[in-house]
Amino acid sequence: MRVRSRIRSPFALVLLTTALAGAACNQDVRQLEDLPPNTPASGDATAGTWRMIVLTGPTQFAVPAPADVSSAAYRAELDSIKAAQAGLTDTQREFIQYWSAGGVQRWNQILRELVARADLPPAPRDNGTYPAPDAENPFADPQFPFSNPPYAARAYSYVSLAQFEALKVAWHYKYLYNRPSPSRVDGGIQALMPITDLPAYPSEDAVLSGVTAELLKLLFPTSVEEITRKAAEQRDAALLSGKATASDIAAGLALGKAVAPVFAARAAADGMRTAGGTPALWQGMANAATARGETPWKSLEDPPRPPMLPAFGHVRAWMMTPTDIVNERPPAPPSTSSSQMQQETAEVKNAVENLTRDQLAIVYKWADGVNTLTPPGHWNDIAAEYVRDAHWSEVRSARAYALLNMALHDAAVGCWDVKFTYFNPRPSQLDPSIRTVTGLPNFPSYTSGHSTFSASAATVLSYLFPSGGSYFEAEKDEAAISRLYGGIHYRADIEVGKDHGKRIGGYTVKFAREDGAD
């Protein structure tokens, strides 16, 4: 064997080296929004008096008086913190850093992830039918839940509101007992996260860990391991950082776990269990539309899928009574046989066939379809940076998410009521030549969920963060029109949905102006 030639120029080597340099390509992707340690500007000492929504008042839950800071038992707790701080591991330092951003912020981030993880519709069976997720058998295929937009809106609202109410109770007892945080009592204990004058008993971190974990285990049972681990880490972070002692934490955890069942009981009876309806209900809705002389909505999936939560419009809202839901219901959409409907259908087709790249980007920015944090989650995502930059106390941060998510839940109830009252077909049903550039939601068209959600959210966020008002309005309009660009909504769905959502958000803002926090 003879080598007849060899490398004559370094050229090939240069090429290979260039290719290898690709290995160094920066692949760093930011995973979560940047949440630095939060130092609240105010302790919100009066938060224990803020108006309750579900609970009757702070004294609904007894929190016994803590041992005195001069007691031997308390001194022993301080000593154990010192010992633990002397041997901190890197992992412990990491989760102290993580939770120092604030428990409300972190749990909202975690909740968005849980929603996205569970946001997958059931796959059809071979016989063309669809199984329903079963809360009693959550790990089966399909897993429970299918965290679609109404389910997600409801989940965000239960978690946020339960946190808010539990923290108001905690604040009442904090300022009743006024026990300082351990690093304020003993100079030998380091403050490894921002620690303020806020009384430590009961620990707000432990309250949050307890109430949140209990509700999340019911709402997202397949993530139970992650939920309980995060909750334990949050309590450990409070202890190891010098923010709370073992008794502060025990009292907080007990309070959080006592508040959660109140919300779990409400959730069990709020109408969600029957929101999926029955074949007879679905058929009745179609028949009613036909009787009105309208073309009824039908599923364009193959095999046809039952509509998404057709009775969600009867789920209990937070700030609206069932009568309010009916009273705020917009009038019927243009008749499916009207010339206005023809024009609006043509407008959708024209839009989707002539999209600019910017318009397409708007469609994808707001797609929020399967496997996402959903439109309600998108608005939580928008809120997160405003809440971060406000440097609020935990209880005021919780209030922001509670208000936002109550409005989003009420928007889901109101919008679903409209959708299944009118049972109006999608553009691609009236004109099968309309092809969509985003997934076609499997429920009636009128009104647009994105528009209703976004308008309710923008209304509440504009109240909470007036300086962001024009930004929220612009985002709302963009989210709404994205559905026309996507080929899945008529203009009437969008305009009426925005108006409806704004009125729904108004109910929450009206409450907020009077709850004692402003």
Partner 1 sequence: MVQVVRARLRAKSLLALVLAVSGAPARAQTIEDGLMMPRNNLCTGFLYTHDRWEKYWEGSLKRINGNIGTITTETLSWMGNYGVTDRLNVIAMVPYVKTSASQGVLHGMKGFQDITVAAKYHLLETDFTKHGTLRTIVVATAGAPLTDYTPDFMPLSIGSASNSLSGRLTLTFHARKGWFIHGSGGYTWRGKVTLDREAYFTENRLFLSDEVAMPDVFSYTLSAGYLMPRLHVPISFSQQITRGGGDIRRQDMPFVSNRMNFQKVEALAMYYLPNPKNLSVRVAGTYAVNGRNVGQSTTITAGLLYTFHF
The answer to whether 337 touches 312, Cβ cutoff 8 Å, is: no
| Interaction between residue 291 and partner 1 (CB under 8 A) | no
Half-sphere exposure (Cβ direction) of 279: Cα atoms closer than 13 Å: 5
| Interaction between residue 3 and partner 1 (CB under 8 A) | yes
Closer residue to partner 1 (CB): 388 or 503: 388
Which amino acid, residue 145? P
| Interaction between residue 292 and partner 1 (CB under 8 A) | no
Q: How far is the CB of 5 from partner 1 (least distance, A)?
A: 6
Among 68, 94, 134, 141, binds partner 1 (CB under 8 A): 141
Query: 486 in the Ramachandran plot: left (φ > 0), alpha (ψ -120 to 50) or beta?
Result: alpha
Q: How far is the CB of 135 from partner 1 (least distance, A)?
A: 18
- Collapsing DSSP to helix, strand or coil, 302 comes out as coil
Closer residue to partner 1 (CB): 122 or 469: 122
Closer residue to partner 1 (CB): 69 or 367: 367
Closer residue to partner 1 (CB): 227 or 509: 227
Half-sphere exposure (Cβ direction) of 518: Cα atoms closer than 13 Å: 10
CA distance 112 to 106: 10
Binding mask 476-495 for partner 1 (x = CB under 8 A): -----------x--------
* Residue 454 CB partners (closer than 8 Å, separation 6+): 375, 379, 475, 476, 479, 480, 498, 501
Closer residue to partner 1 (CB): 210 or 377: 377
The answer to whether 183 touches 195, Cβ cutoff 8 Å, is: yes
Among 162, 367, 418, 464, binds partner 1 (CB under 8 A): 367
Cα 223 vs. chain centroid, distance in angstroms?
16
CA distance 518 to 516: 6
Closer residue to partner 1 (CB): 25 or 280: 25
The answer to whether the bond into 142 is cis (omega within 30° of 0) is: yes
Closer residue to partner 1 (CB): 270 or 368: 368
Q: How far is the CB of 143 from partner 1 (least distance, A)?
A: 8
Closer residue to partner 1 (CB): 97 or 372: 372
Cα 451 vs. chain centroid, distance in angstroms?
17
Q: How far is the CB of 503 from partner 1 (least distance, A)?
A: 28
Closer residue to partner 1 (CB): 283 or 371: 371
The answer to whether 104 touches 163, Cβ cutoff 8 Å, is: yes
CA angle 140, 145, 149 (to 5 degrees): 150
Closer residue to partner 1 (CB): 262 or 461: 461
| Interaction between residue 303 and partner 1 (CB under 8 A) | yes
Q: Count interface residues toward partner 1 (CB under 8 A).
A: 70
Among 37, 138, 142, 271, binds partner 1 (CB under 8 A): 142
CA distance 105 to 118: 20
Q: What residues from 19 to 78 belong to the interface with partner 1 (CB under 8 A)?
A: 19-23, 25-33
Q: How far is the CB of 295 from partner 1 (least distance, A)?
A: 17
Closer residue to partner 1 (CB): 96 or 440: 440
| Interaction between residue 1 and partner 1 (CB under 8 A) | yes
Q: How far is CA 415 from CA 102, 294, 318, in A?
A: 33, 20, 14
Closer residue to partner 1 (CB): 19 or 86: 19
Q: What residues from 406 to 435 belong to the interface with partner 1 (CB under 8 A)?
A: 428, 434-435
Closest CA to 367 of 449, 469, 456: 449
| Interaction between residue 225 and partner 1 (CB under 8 A) | no
Phi, psi (deg, nearest 5) at residue 433: -80, -5
CA distance 507 to 518: 16
Rg (CA), the chain: 26
Among 82, 370, 391, 499, binds partner 1 (CB under 8 A): 370
Q: How far is CA 44 from CA 165, 199, 328, 512, in A?
A: 14, 11, 35, 16
The answer to whether 81 touches 183, Cβ cutoff 8 Å, is: no
Q: How far is the CB of 90 from partner 1 (least distance, A)?
A: 21
Q: How far is the CB of 445 from partner 1 (least distance, A)?
A: 13
CA distance 118 to 371: 7
Q: What residues from 91 to 130 belong to the interface with partner 1 (CB under 8 A)?
A: 109, 112-113, 116-117, 119-124
Which amino acid, residue 109? Q
Among 68, 79, 94, 301, binds partner 1 (CB under 8 A): 301
Closest CA to 36 of 113, 106, 86: 106
| Interaction between residue 139 and partner 1 (CB under 8 A) | no
Q: How far is the CB of 265 from partner 1 (least distance, A)?
A: 30
Closer residue to partner 1 (CB): 335 or 372: 372
Q: What residues from 316 to 355 belong to the interface with partner 1 (CB under 8 A)?
A: 352
| Interaction between residue 300 and partner 1 (CB under 8 A) | yes
Q: Which stretch binds partner 1 (CB under 8 A): 8-16, 55-63, 267-275, 463-471?
A: 8-16
Would you tell me which residues interact with partner 1 (CB under 8 A)?
1-8, 11-12, 15-16, 18-23, 25-33, 109, 112-113, 116-117, 119-124, 141-142, 300-303, 352, 357, 360-367, 369-373, 377-378, 381, 428, 434-437, 439-440, 487
